C-alpha cells in the first residue's frame, strides 16, 4: 500500500521560498507547486513569489504570473510597480498604471511613490504633470513620501521652481524629506541651493544626521567651498553625528574637488578604515588635479595590499594617463579591463571616452577616430565630444567638421560642441566658417552655455560672469584688474586674441578678454583673501588660453598660489608655472 503524501501547507511553501536560490527556474517550480496545491489564493505566497522574481529581474514571468491572478489586491499591484522601478522599466510601469485605471482599481498611498519614481526614470515632463494631477485628484499630495518623490521628479526634470514650491508647501517635513531634497539638489547640480536648504533645515531646528553631512560635503566639493565644508564637518563632530566611513569618504572627495590634495592625502593616511571607495576617490582626485604619478603610484600600492579595483578606480587611472599623455600606459591599463574575467570591470562608455581623450590630446587624432569606430558600444556625445575637443587643441578642421556633424545627430541640443567647432575655425582664422557654424546654431535653436566663475570668501560663494558689474565691490575689482594687467604686461604678458570675433578691433578684443569671469574672480580674491591662503577659482566651462596665461603671470607677480578648476581638470599655478605642464 502506498504511503499517503503529506499535503503542502502555506508554511512549508513559504519556508521553501525563503530557502531557494536566486535561480528563476526554482521559483517557477515553486509557483507550480502553489498552483497545484490549491494555495494560490494565499496572497502572501504570491507576494513572496513576485518579490523573488523581481529580485532576480525576471519581470516577464512576474507579469505573466500577475496577469493570471484573479482580482489581485492593491498591494500586489504595488509590488509589481516596485519591480518595474527596481529593474529600470519605467514605460512598463506607466502602462501598468493605465491598465489599473482601466480596471477601476483605486490606488493607495503606496502606489504613487513607485509610479512617480518611474516617471522620473522615463524623463517625460508632460507625464510628470499628468501624474501629479492624479496625486491631487486622490488626495495623496499631503503624504510626505509622495510629496518627496514629486519634488525629486521635478528636480530631475530641471523644474527647480516647481520643486522648491512643493517642498516649501510640505507640512511637517521630517529629516527624511529634508535629506531627500538636499540630496536631489546635489545630484542635479544645484549645490548652492542644497547648502541654502541645509541652513534652513538648521534654522528649523531639524537635527541633521550622517546622510545630511554626506550630501552637504558633496555640495561643498562641487562648489569648491572648502571652508564651509570644514565648518559643517566640525559641527557634525561636535554634535556627535556618526562620522562613519561614508562621511569620511565624502570629506576626502570634498578636499580633492577643492584642489587640496595634500590635506586629502593626510586624511587618507590617517583614516582608521579604508575601502575601495576611499582608494578610488583618492586616485580619481589625484588624476583630476594633474598628479598623475601619485595616482598611478597609489593604484600600485592598492594592488599590493590585495584590494581589487573597480570600474571607478580604472576611470581614475585612465584619467591620470590622459592628463599626463601616457599613451602606452593608458593602453595597457585599458587592455587589463578588456581582458578581465570580471563582467563588472568591462570598459564602459566613460572609459572609452578617457581613451579617446588620451589619444586625441597626444595628437593621435586618426587613431582616436578609428578607436571609436571599432568600439563594441554605441558612441555617445561624451565620446565624440572628447575627440572634438582634441581637434580643437590640435586645430584639425577637417576631422573636427566630420565629428561636429556626427554630434549634431547625437546631441543636437548641446551647443557646446558647435562652439568648439567655431573655436577651431576661429583659431585658424576661417571666419567665414565661424559665421556658418553660428548661423547653423541659430537655425537649430542651440544656445551657448553662459560661462561663470566662482570663488569662496567669508562663508559665501561669489559668482562672476564675463563683464559682470553687479557685484557690490565691482568698482574695486575692475580697478584691481587694471592694476594687475598693467604690471603683467610689463612682465611680458600678451593677450591671446585669436578666437575673439574677427569684426572687432584689437583694442576691443583685449578689453573683452580682460573681463573674463576667471580674471574678475582672481581680482576679487586678491582684494579680499589673506595673502597666505591660495586663491581657489571654480569655472563651469573649460578655461580659455588667455586666462590660463594670465593666471600664470599673476601667480608669479603676487607669489600667490592659484588653484583653478574648470570643466575638465584642475590647474595649480605657482611661481608662473602650471601643474598641467601645458598639456591640457
Given a contact cutoff of 8 angstroms between Cβ atoms, the answer to whether 434 and 498 are in contact is no
pLDDT at 2 over 50: no
Give the model confidence (pLDDT) of 119-131 as tens digits: 988 888 888 898 8
pLDDT at 571 over 80: yes
pLDDT of residue 48: 74
Strand-pairing partners, residue 208, are none
Instruction: Please give the sequence-ordered ranges of beta strands (E in DSSP) within 420-524, or none if there are none.
Output: 452-457, 460-465
Compute the mean pLDDT over every residue in the chain, rounded to the nearest whole number. 86
Pick the range with the lowest mean pLDDT from 217-231, 383-397, 414-428: 414-428
Alpha helices in 38-159 (DSSP H): 43-55, 59-67, 74-86, 90-102, 111-122, 125-137, 144-156
pLDDT confidence tier of residue 26, bands split at 50, 70 and 90: low
Give the model confidence (pLDDT) of 470-523 as tens digits: 999 999 999 999 999 999 999 999 887 655 544 444 444 455 677 899 999 999
pTM for the model: 0.81
Helix or strand (DSSP H, E) at 37? helix 24-37
pLDDT confidence tier of residue 179, bands split at 50, 70 and 90: very high
Using CA atoms, how far apart are residues 129 and 150, in angstroms rounded to an integer? 10
**What mean pLDDT do residues 412-441 have?**
76
Pick the range with the lowest mean pLDDT from 53-57, 479-483, 529-533, 553-557: 53-57
Helix or strand (DSSP H, E) at 157? none
**What mean pLDDT do residues 159-169 have?**
88
**Greatest Cα pair distance in the chain:** 111
Pick the range with the lowest mean pLDDT from 168-172, 386-390, 443-447, 506-510: 506-510
pLDDT at 78 over 60: yes
pLDDT at 338 over 70: yes
**What mean pLDDT do residues 258-266 have?**
95
pLDDT of residue 291: 93
Pick the range with the lowest mean pLDDT from 59-63, 318-322, 452-456, 538-542: 59-63
Using CA atoms, how far apart are residues 225 and 538, in angstroms rounded to an integer? 10
Sign (positive or negative) of CA dihedral 131, 133, 139, 140: positive
pLDDT of residue 22: 59
pLDDT confidence tier of residue 10, bands split at 50, 70 and 90: low
pLDDT at 3 over 60: no
Query: Smallest Cα–Cα separation from 535: which of 513, 545, 550, 546?
Result: 550
Residue count (the chain): 584
pLDDT of residue 297: 97
Helix or strand (DSSP H, E) at 573? strand 570-574
* The three three-digit cell numbers of residue 1, written as one number: 500500500
Give the model confidence (pLDDT) of 27-37 as tens digits: 666 666 665 56
Given a contact cutoff of 8 angstroms between Cβ atoms, the answer to whether 282 and 268 are in contact is yes
pLDDT confidence tier of residue 20, bands split at 50, 70 and 90: low
Edge-to-edge strand list for the sheet holding 577-578: 460-465, 452-457, 535-539, 562-565, 570-574, 577-578
Pick the range with the lowest mean pLDDT from 132-136, 150-154, 429-433, 571-575: 429-433
Q: Which of 70-74, 444-448, 462-466 has the highest mean predicted lDDT (pLDDT)?
A: 462-466
**What mean pLDDT do residues 258-263 have?**
94
Give the model confidence (pLDDT) of 270-306 as tens digits: 999 999 999 999 999 999 999 999 999 999 999 999 9
pLDDT at 8 over 80: no
pLDDT confidence tier of residue 4, bands split at 50, 70 and 90: very low
Q: How many CA atoms lie within 13 A of 385 on its CB side?
A: 17
pLDDT confidence tier of residue 369, bands split at 50, 70 and 90: very high
pLDDT of residue 29: 63
Give the model confidence (pLDDT) of 385-418 as tens digits: 899 889 888 888 889 888 887 877 777 666 677 7
Share of the chain above pLDDT 70, in %: 88
* The three three-digit cell numbers of residue 329, written as one number: 600606459
Amino acid at each position: 500500500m502506498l504511503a499517503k503524501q503529506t499535503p503542502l501547507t502555506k508554511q512549508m511553501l513559504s519556508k521553501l521560498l525563503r530557502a531557494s536560490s536566486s535561480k528563476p527556474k526554482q521559483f517557477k517550480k515553486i509557483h507550480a507547486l502553489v498552483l497545484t496545491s490549491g494555495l494560490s489564493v494565499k496572497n502572501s505566497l504570491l507576494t513572496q513569489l513576485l518579490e523573488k522574481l523581481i529580485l532576480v529581474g525576471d519581470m516577464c514571468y512576474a507579469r505573466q504570473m500577475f496577469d493570471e491572478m484573479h482580482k489581485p489586491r492593491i498591494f500586489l499591484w504595488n509590488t509589481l510597480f516596485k519591480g518595474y522601478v527596481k529593474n529600470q522599466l519605467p514605460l512598463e510601469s506607466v502602462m501598468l498604471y493605465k491598465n489599473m485605471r482601466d480596471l477601476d482599481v483605486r490606488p493607495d498611498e503606496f502606489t504613487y511613490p513607485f509610479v512617480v519614481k518611474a516617471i522620473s526614470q522615463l524623463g517625460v515632463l508632460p507625464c510628470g504633470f499628468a501624474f501629479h494631477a492624479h496625486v491631487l485628484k486622490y488626495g495623496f499630495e499631503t503624504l510626505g513620501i509622495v510629496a518627496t518623490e514629486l519634488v525629486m521628479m521635478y528636480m530631475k526634470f530641471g523644474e527647480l521652481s516647481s520643486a522648491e514650491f512643493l517642498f516649501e508647501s510640505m507640512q511637517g517635513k521630517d529629516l527624511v524629506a529634508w535629506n531627500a531634497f538636499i540630496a536631489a539638489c546635489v545630484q542635479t547640480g544645484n549645490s548652492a541651493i542644497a547648502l541654502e536648504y541645509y541652513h534652513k533645515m538648521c534654522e528649523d531646528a531639524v537635527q541633521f544626521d550622517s546622510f545630511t553631512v554626506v550630501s552637504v560635503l558633496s555640495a561643498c566639493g562641487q562648489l569648491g567651498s572648502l571652508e564651509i565644508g570644514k565648518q559643517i564637518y566640525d559641527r557634525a563632530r561636535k554634535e556627535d553625528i556618526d562620522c562613519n566611513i561614508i562621511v569620511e569618504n565624502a570629506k576626502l572627495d570634498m578636499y580633492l574637488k577643492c584642489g587640496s590634495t595634500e590635506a586629502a592625502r593626510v586624511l587618507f593616511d590617517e583614516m582608521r578604515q579604508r575601502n575601495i571607495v576611499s582608494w578610488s576617490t583618492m586616485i580619481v582626485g589625484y588624476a583630476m588635479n594633474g598628479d598623475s604619478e601619485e595616482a598611478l603610484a597609489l593604484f600600485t600600492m592598492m594592488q599590493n595590499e590585495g584590494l581589487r579595483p573597480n570600474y571607478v578606480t580604472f576611470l581614475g587611472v585612465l584619467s591620470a594617463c590622459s592628463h599626463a599623455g601616457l599613451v602606452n600606459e593608458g593602453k595597457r591599463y585599458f587592455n587589463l579591463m578588456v581582458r578581465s574575467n570580471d563582467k563588472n570591470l568591462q570598459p564602459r562608455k566613460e572609459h572609452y571616452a578617457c581613451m579617446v581623450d588620451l589619444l586625441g590630446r597626444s595628437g593621435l587624432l586618426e587613431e582616436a577616430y578609428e578607436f571609436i569606430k571599432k568600439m563594441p558600444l554605441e558612441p555617445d556625445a561624451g565620446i565624440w565630444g572628447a575627440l572634438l575637443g582634441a581637434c580643437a587643441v590640435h586645430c584639425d578642421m577637417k576631422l573636427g567638421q566630420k565629428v561636429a556633424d556626427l554630434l549634431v545627430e547625437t546631441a543636437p541640443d548641446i551647443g557646446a560642441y558647435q562652439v568648439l567647432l567655431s573655436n577651431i575655425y576661429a583659431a585658424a582664422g576661417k571666419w567665414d566658417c565661424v559665421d556658418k557654424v553660428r548661423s547653423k546654431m541659430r537655425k537649430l535653436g542651440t544656445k551657448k552655455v553662459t560661462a561663470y566663475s566662482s570663488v569662496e570668501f567669508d562663508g559665501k560663494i561669489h559668482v562672476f560672469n564675463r563683464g559682470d558689474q553687479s557685484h557690490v565691490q565691482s568698482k574695486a575689482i575692475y580697478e584691481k584688474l587694471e592694476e594687475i594687467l598693467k604690471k603683467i604686461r610689463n612682465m611680458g604678458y600678451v593677450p591671446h586674441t585669436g578666437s575673439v570675433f574677427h569684426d572687432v578691433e584689437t583694442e576691443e578684443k583685449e578689453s573683452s578678454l580682460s573681463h573674463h569671469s576667471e580674471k574678475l574672480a582672481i581680482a576679487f580674491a586678491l582684494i579680499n583673501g589673506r595673502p597666505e591662503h591660495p586663491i581657489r577659482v571654480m569655472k563651469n566651462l573649460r578655461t580659455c588660453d588667455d586666462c590660463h596665461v594670465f593666471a600664470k603671470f599673476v601667480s608669479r607677480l603676487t607669489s600667490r598660489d592659484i588653484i583653478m578648476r574648470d570643466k575638465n581638470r584642475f590647474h595649480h599655478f605657482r611661481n608662473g608655472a602650471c601643474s598641467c605642464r601645458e598639456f591640457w
